[in-house]
């Protein structure tokens, strides 16, 4: 790359950070990082009707959580501040005046109803309506109250290169006299983003497919302004679960922070989104941030729609959760009021089984709730596996276990617990009838009070010998009562 790379992410404040937008931001950021360039965050708030309150803090929070830092932009400042388009109106106006002076722009003299009549006339003649066919013969000076239109050049064919899609082209029908500044004084997207990309020295523009058809407009405006257009890279569409249609809200297209609430870690979101539409050309599936920066290459971004696979997301999320230290796991898991000591003991089990922090929280509230409070026991369930011809067998098994557990050290591994207690269950197995279950079930039930729980050895290790003793005693008391 000869000139210094500058990329940007330019969301509109519409209240939602869908994963397609986040993926675009990610690729623009990876590209800048890979080439030692700069990444800008700019907010495009020129369409006041679509604006949703509090979008900007939402965008900032989303990208910050996700883990991409911007070198300049909103909330951070930089040489091209302000980075909020509604605070740059003078600049757009200055560009507009320049275009008027050079004969590239003119005020639109028509009222809404006059325009409507011209449109209807074209429809009546079965012709496409083109504003450029109705340019006023005599121009009035622009007073800022009428829309300002671009005087589109007539170019038979537009061709350009897209870094992902290769040569693209459009015929002259692709460009009409589009509006540069609206009657409310705000610039259109077409003018504002081009002025900003020029002013901010943007070299590479990554964005969605919906902008391809407008590229001839952009190119002719760059030319009218005497500026060189940046390189364009069009991102692949993100497809929904059926692999055909674009991912929509109805398919569950979610906001990035919904994934945070569901207990996904940002490392996994970044890893998985990088792979939606890009591949490293190898089998590598897990990528850290630094590995992504090193491996990312625009030439491996695909043209066709890319599938967002939530099953793969679960696998990747579990991978990144497991790389956290136990301390980080606890700090990041949002485990509100769980007893820290017990939680610490449960982390290895949570890492083994939970694929998201939400699953981990659900486990703590469900099958692992017994770690935090003593279970309420039911006599019938306790003796459910007792062979009919050996009344009292459950009680004696529990007494035998009690003796063995009392001899255990207070802090003990699951392996040691198993080695210590299993012989008792094996001996029962040899007797036939109830089998190991006749010993292990009452133990597991005495400790958990649940039909579904981790195995009894794990429970003993998690609860510790003293608490195990107390729970076995409580079970024996029920049988005696
Ligand atoms: N503000 C535009 C959007 O949110 C950005 C398009 C662009 O990146 O140029 O769709």
- 224 with 94, same domain: the answer is yes
- 367 with 384, same domain: the answer is no
- 361 with 461, same domain: the answer is no
Secondary structure class of 85 (helix, strand, coil): helix
Decide if 434 contacts 396 (C-beta within 8 A): no
Does residue 49 form part of some domain?
Answer: no
Q: Is the CB of 40 under 6 A from ligand 1?
A: no
Residue 242: pLDDT band (50, 70, 90) is: confident
Does residue 425 form part of some domain?
Answer: yes
Does residue 264 form part of some domain?
Answer: no
Q: Give distance in angstroms: CA of 125 to centre of ligand 1.
A: 36
Decide if 453 contacts 459 (C-beta within 8 A): yes
Sheet holding 38-41, edge to edge: 72-73, 38-41, 6-9, 204-207, 231-234, 157-162, 166-171
Cite the active site residues.
249
pLDDT the model gives residue 459: 95
Question: Kindly report the CA angle at 248 between 244 and 253, in degrees rounded to 5?
Answer: 115
pLDDT the model gives residue 403: 97
The lowest-confidence range among 13-22, 191-200, 206-215, 237-246 is: 237-246
Q: What is the pLDDT of residues 319-367, one digit of tens each?
A: 999 999 999 999 999 998 777 888 998 999 999 999 999 999 999 988 8
- 454 with 336, same domain: the answer is no
> Could you tell me which residues are beta bridge partners of residue 204?
7, 231
- 351 with 398, same domain: the answer is no
Q: Give distance in angstroms: CA of 137 to centre of ligand 1.
A: 35
Q: What is the DSSP code string of 40-84?
A: EE-B----TTT--TTHHHHHHHHHHHHT---SEETTTB-TT---B
pLDDT the model gives residue 243: 73
- 173 with 218, same domain: the answer is yes
Q: Give distance in angstroms: CA of 197 to centre of ligand 1.
A: 12
Domains of the chain: total: 3
- 144 with 103, same domain: the answer is yes
Secondary structure class of 108 (helix, strand, coil): coil
Q: Do the bridges between strand 179-181 and strand 238-239 make them parallel or antiparallel, or are there none, so unpaired?
A: unpaired
The CA distance from 385 to 480, in Å, is 17
pLDDT the model gives residue 140: 86
Report percent pLDDT > 90 for the chain: 84
In testing the pocket of ligand 1, which one of 6, 12, 74 has its CB within 8 Å of the most ligand atoms?
A: 12
Does residue 194 form part of some domain?
Answer: yes
Find the domain containing 453 and state its range: 379-480
Q: What is the pLDDT of residues 30-43, one digit of tens each?
A: 999 999 999 999 99
Does residue 463 form part of some domain?
Answer: yes
Residue whose C-alpha is closest to residue 151's, from 94, 225, 214: 225
CATH number at residue 399: 1.10.10.350
Question: Which of 234, 250, 274 is where one domain is finished?
Answer: 234
- 187 with 224, same domain: the answer is yes
Does residue 19 form part of some domain?
Answer: no
Q: What is the pLDDT of residues 146-182, one digit of tens each?
A: 999 999 998 889 999 999 999 999 988 888 999 999 9
């Amino acid at each position: 790359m000869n000139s210094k790379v500058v990329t940007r992410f330019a969301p509109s404040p519409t209240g939602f950070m869908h994963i397609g937008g986040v993926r675009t931001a990610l690729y623009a950021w990876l590209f800048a990082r890979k080439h030692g360039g700069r990444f800008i965050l700019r907010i495009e708030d020129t369409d006041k009707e679509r604006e949703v309150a509090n979008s900007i803090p939402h965008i900032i929070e989303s990208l910050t959580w996700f883990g991409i830092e911007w070198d300049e932009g909103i909330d951070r400042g930089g040489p091209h501040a302000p980075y909020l388009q509604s605070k740059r109106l003078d600049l757009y106006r200055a560009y507009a005046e320049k275009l008027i002076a050079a004969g590239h722009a003119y005020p639109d003299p028509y009222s809404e109803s006059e325009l409507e009549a011209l449109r209807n006339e074209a429809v009546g003649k079965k012709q496409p309506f083109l504003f450029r066919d109705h340019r006023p013969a005599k121009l009035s000076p622009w007073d800022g109250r009428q829309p300002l239109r671009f005087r589109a050049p007539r170019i038979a064919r537009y061709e350009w290169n897209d870094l992902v899609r290769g040569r693209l082209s459009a015929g002259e029908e692709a460009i009409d006299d589009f509006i540069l500044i609206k009657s409310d004084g705000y610039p259109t997207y077409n003018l504002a983003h081009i002025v900003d990309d020029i002013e901010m020295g943007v070299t590479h523009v990554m964005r969605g497919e919906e902008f391809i058809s407008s590229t001839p407009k952009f190119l002719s405006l760059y030319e009218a302004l005497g500026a060189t257009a940046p390189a364009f890279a069009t991102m692949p569409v993100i497809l929904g679960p059926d692999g055909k249609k674009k991912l929509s809200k109805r398919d569950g297209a979610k906001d990035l922070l919904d994934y945070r609430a569901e207990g996904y870690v940002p490392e996994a979101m970044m890893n998985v989104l990088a792979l939606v539409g890009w591949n490293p050309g190898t089998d590598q599936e897990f990528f850290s941030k630094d590995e992504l920066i090193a491996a990312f290459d625009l030439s491996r971004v695909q043209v066709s729609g890319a599938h967002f696979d939530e099953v793969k997301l679960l696998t990747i999320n579990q991978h990144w959760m497991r790389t956290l230290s136990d301390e980080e796991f606890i700090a990041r898991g949002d485990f509100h009021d769980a007893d820290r000591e017990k939680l610490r003991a449960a982390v290895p089990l949570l890492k083994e089984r939970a694929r998201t922090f939400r699953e981990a929280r659900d486990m703590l509230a469900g099958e692992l709730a017994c770690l935090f409070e003593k279970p309420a026991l039911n006599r019938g369930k306790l003796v459910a596996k007792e062979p009919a011809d050996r009344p009292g067998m459950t009680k004696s098994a529990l007494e035998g276990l009690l003796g063995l557990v009392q001899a255990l050290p207070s802090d003990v591994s699951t392996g040691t617990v198993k080695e210590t207690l299993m012989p008792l269950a094996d001996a029962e197995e040899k007797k036939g009838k109830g089998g190991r279950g006749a010993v292990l079930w009452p133990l597991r039930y005495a400790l958990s009070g649940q039909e579904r729980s981790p195995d009894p050895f794990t429970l003993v290790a998690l609860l510790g010998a003293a608490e195990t003793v107390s729970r076995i005693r409580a079970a024996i008391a029920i049988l005696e009562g």
